[in-house]
Amino acid sequence: MIKEGDKAINFNMPIDEETNITLETYTGKNIVLYFYPKDDTPGCTKEAIDFTAHLEGFTKHDTVIIGVSADSIKQHKKFSDKHSLNVILASDEDKKTCEDYGVWVEKSMYGKKYMGINRATFLIDKDRIVQKIWDKVSVPGHVEDVLENVKKL
């Protein structure tokens, strides 16, 4: 399990039909890597809209926002277009990055167990060190908290 102070684990995920992103894609930038369960669900939509609304503040502090779920590129595009999102959405259909970051976990709903993504956020600095981890994120106020931590880098 990755911890605060650890070197960030590299990833390689598509963001559209032609482009894959890795840590090196954003050399010289801080990265907010946030994992969410599913496109176009209430909490995930609110979180993506909040990150989009605060994008200027993150950009001012040399920080890119990357949202990650197991949804397809096609689904991400539909989600992004529907809600006018300006954050990068990466597709982790094979769940490798989710597993690397420890967010692909057993969940339970109404007594039924299943595997899914734990909503979590990782703040990675320009030196690729994980500065802060938010685990089991509650959406209200989360983006503002992340931005405050970015300002301290």
Residue in the block written with tokens 């992004």: 80
What element of type H or E holds 18? none
Please choose, from the candidates 69, 65, 68, the residue with its C-alpha nearest in 3D space to the C-alpha of residue 31: 65
Residues 66/30, Cβ–Cβ less than 8 Å: no
- pLDDT score of 108: 87
The per-residue pLDDT of the chain, averaged, comes to 96
Return the CATH number of the domain spanning residue range 28-151.
3.40.30.10
- Summarize pLDDT for 111-148 with one digit per residue, the tens: 899 999 999 999 999 999 999 999 989 999 999 999 99
Instruction: Tell me the pTM.
Output: 0.96
Region 83-96 average pLDDT:
97
pLDDT category at 46 given cuts 50, 70, 90 is very high
142 contacts: CB under 8 Å, gap ≥ 6:
47, 50, 121, 134
Residue in the block written with tokens 């967010």: 103
Region 86-100 average pLDDT:
97
Task: Indicate which residues carry an active-site annotation.
Answer: 44
- Spell out the domain ranges in the chain: 28-151
For residue 38, pLDDT beyond 90? yes
DSSP for 102-121, please give it. Answer: T-EEEEEETTEEEEEEPPEE
- pLDDT score of 104: 96
- φ, ψ of residue 42 in degrees (nearest 5): -55, -55
Residues 93/9, Cβ–Cβ less than 8 Å: no
Region 37-53 average pLDDT:
96
Higher per-residue confidence, 68 vs 114: 68
